[in-house]
A and B are shown apart, each in its own frame.
Chain A
């Protein structure tokens, strides 16, 4: 029954998801309900979206997107829709089989494409009827589904987690070529679970193909990109500050070309720089937020503003952003955190978080008596730097590797962790190893406190560390001991892959408190903060 209905509707609308939707709406009509304005709007939007997608190069991810989007509003509908909702899940692995087909698509005509898609969707629908599972949404595409939200936004998968999709790679290559940014090639064998992520080598720097007096890309951006790729500037706060500093120099050296407006042209100028930086090292969440802020500020410059005035204003904006969001925020967080540190505490920290170091140094200055255990892990061994800074201050420290975690946890009274980003579902994204620490601390009933500024809050949602991560240079794992380097020729061993992950996500159940500049909140309040921030802006 559902099939015939769908097919009927299909002949009018040419898409399954709309077919399903209309089917639901037809059902609703039959049951005497009226189509709400919201539903009508949504339907119109679907049609428009679909027309737009027909023009684009259709890859499976986008199709997936539409299906996701269609199935997401479904849960918000009353329960009668649930059978329909169950009928429209999208098995992620279906897309894998479609990708080789998708690659040939541009060659066929539109009518053929439409017919092909219809046939495929029919078979898919048939197979889905047999399945029981519903609503298996891939994490990175879930938009906010709160009732008082505006129309759900179509989220595209970001390029940097689609490396195994040749269509997406082609698109990226085209875009970079247009912006005259060199494309960095991947290096070495990638572990299959992470083959959708980029893996670069430090030996092939991104500047190989850039002309030496860098003309297309501003020299300070080239310098920044190099510093990112070599790890000279590492750490979420440092990267954002350095990025804003480089933008200040770009703005300083910028001059509006004739017949152009600063507010539009400068944003266009920044795009290739941002592409270049993301080729050097994938952007962090804090950098993303900083870039969004800058772009907004630039586009808000009134057109009658003179260039000098506009530049000065932008520089001031950047300065105030850094001052508020980073410097003052860390002061505020220290104030809150110091309340939580009592005399006689044994505090465990992991890796080198600039914020946590700052907190501990402040607490020490305020005469709190505590000692610190620094946990470190290979290959970065960032804990050594944290150790140096704390010991220089005069704090009593112990240094262990993460493998000794369960041995020293009985001594620990609190765990302070830094964060790279806080995701919208309350998960904490931080250096790889953090979730392990949180897990073991939970097992030992040791409170875990995460310190994070609000500008690192991110609207993304992730429940695992696989979907979106960063792969560092695998050669970093190679170590020489006693003159022997065993992994020297790891590339020749076909069955061996080296994996150097950078981030992992910690579920909110393991985190007891998040200390932000707005106060001390539980992990699940992060979406509230995000909503408040959005309303503010």
Chain B
């Protein structure tokens, strides 16, 4: 066999705790499908028949019970459970399943939504006999206002510096801003071998790696490496130019000798201008495929989640309104919205540019724009929801008016009169009587289950409460 697929679905989603404190990240609905469906679909489309899925018990249960996953995904899923408490990095997970790995592997993260032609990445891996081949894409700027972000995004957010050679395929340098103190430091050997290097910063790492089997063996011997992205990849990129690999060049097996002979007789070289042979005689090579066009999202922040929800329905030819949803005639569902199965949309509702999840009930005279409604949500009459994210099983009371809010799962928003803006709490219902609270910037209240809060607003005070 050529490649084995490994899907990493045990991550916690630490950058969007608002969404994931109740639902594990792989099961977050995006376009009315659980997030884990997207990488599985990518692997299936390309031709994989078997995937090793590393995940937690909860997700495993969902994988075996969720209807949609069971029917849509035809591959054989070999689910490996790890405990949530043990804070396992991705490299630790690979070490954990080392026994199952018999060939080169393709590691995918569960939060990757992309339509890349996977053969581009794998061809680099095959043709150049590379040790590592990865996928990167241009970063999309998220323009929509995100509930929870006050003002502009925190700038200078940990850029990645990626150095590639003139062809744009060979990966020469990779460093994260967080690891650097003052400036970029390059080894002279890199400059001597590749005098022209392009440094790119606006790239998003898709966390899709083709790794050779020997890398897994290396991980087994070096237990200190915990994360693929954070430690293993920069290590491999640096090791390309380290002198050690030149040493054991006298390859032993006859097959290696034949390959060596073929390379010697071939009149190809990957670079021109100096006196060294192809690949500078190096054994370890890292390649990257940078996607110029096409869709590539990593759903690990709230902004990415919202953007993905916006874009993904266009990918599939599913009917925007699921056949089992009950949509009355007097409602207006825009063409760029999707309604999940078993929903009930009542009269005089208007749904524009939104996603409504499974089994949600939307009563009359509700206006939903630019929002994401997850599964099992009940929205009473007269609500006006704009730019918000409503998580599973929330209940929005009558007349609520929400702009750019995020309602956690299982929350309950009390019915209100007009113009009341809602706060969200956990485990408690809030009483906000008829008061006008104007929020000029988007605000999110997320209350940690550990804290018990009861908020009562009695006066015309502008009260903004944050409990973290």
Binding site for B on A (CB under 8 A): 205, 207-208, 210-215, 219, 222-223, 226-227, 230-235, 237-239, 241-242, 244-245, 248-249, 319, 322, 327, 351-354, 382, 384-386, 388, 391-392
Contact = CB atoms under 8 A, between A and B. Distances in A.
A354 B265 contact: yes
A380 to B, nearest CB: 8
B127 A386 contact: no
Interface in B234-269: 254-255, 258-259, 261-269
Given A215-B2, A222-B2, A242-B266, 11 more contacts: A211-B46, A213-B2, A213-B4, A213-B48, A213-B49, A223-B129, A227-B127, A235-B265, A235-B266, A319-B254, A385-B267
Interface stretch (B116-124, B131-139, B298-306, B361-369): B116-124
Contacts of B178: none
B128 interface: yes
B203 interface: no
A232 B266 contact: yes
B47 interface: yes
B255 A248 contact: yes
A232 B266 CA distance: 7
Interface residue tally on B, bucketed by range: 20 to 34
A322 B265 CA distance: 13
Contacts of A227: 127
Contacts of A351: 267
B119 A210 contact: yes
B2 A219 contact: yes
Contacts of A238: 262-267
A334 B262 CA distance: 19
Contact of B262 (A205, A219, A241): A241
B258 A244 contact: yes
Given A207-B119, A211-B47, A212-B46, A230 B265 contact: no
A248 B258 contact: yes
B192 interface: no
Given A212-B118, A214-B2, A245-B259, A205 B123 contact: yes
Given A205-B123, A230-B127, A388-B269, A241 B255 contact: no
A281 B117 CA distance: 22
Nearest to A382: B267
B434 to A, nearest CB: 60
B267 A212 contact: no
B461 interface: no
A319 B406 CA distance: 69
A219 B275 CA distance: 32
B126 interface: yes
Q: Summarize A's interface: helix, strand, loop or mixed.
A: helix
Contacts of B118: 212
B420 interface: no
A212 B272 CA distance: 32
A212 B258 contact: no
B420 to A, nearest CB: 54
Interface in B100-145: 106, 117-119, 122-123, 126-129
B175 interface: no
B3 interface: yes
Contacts of A223: 126-127, 129
B320 to A, nearest CB: 30
B261 A233 contact: no
B272 A384 contact: yes
A458 B275 CA distance: 36
A208 B268 contact: no
A212 B3 contact: yes
Interface string B265-294: 111110010010000000000000000000
Question: B2, B117, B122, B265 — which one has the most chain A CB atoms within 10 A of its CB?
Answer: B265
Given A212-B47, A213-B1, A242 B262 contact: yes
A232 B46 contact: no
Contacts of B129: 223
A232 B268 contact: yes
B48 A207 contact: no
Contacts of A212: 2-3, 46-48, 106, 118-119, 122
A207 B46 CA distance: 11
A206 B49 CA distance: 21
A450 B268 CA distance: 22
24 contacts: A211-B47, A211-B48, A212-B3, A212-B48, A212-B119, A213-B3, A213-B4, A213-B48, A215-B1, A215-B2, A222-B126, A226-B127, A234-B266, A235-B267, A238-B263, A241-B261, A245-B258, A245-B262, A248-B255, A351-B267, A352-B267, A354-B264, A382-B267, A392-B275
B380 to A, nearest CB: 49
Nearest to B120: A205
Interface in B1-34: 1-5
A234 B126 contact: no
Nearest to B106: A212
A230 B261 CA distance: 19
Nearest to B267: A352
Interface string B354-380: 000000000000000000000000000
B277 to A, nearest CB: 8
A525 to B, nearest CB: 26
Contacts of A205: 119, 123
Given A226-B126, A384-B272, A388-B269, A241 B258 contact: yes
Nearest to A242: B262
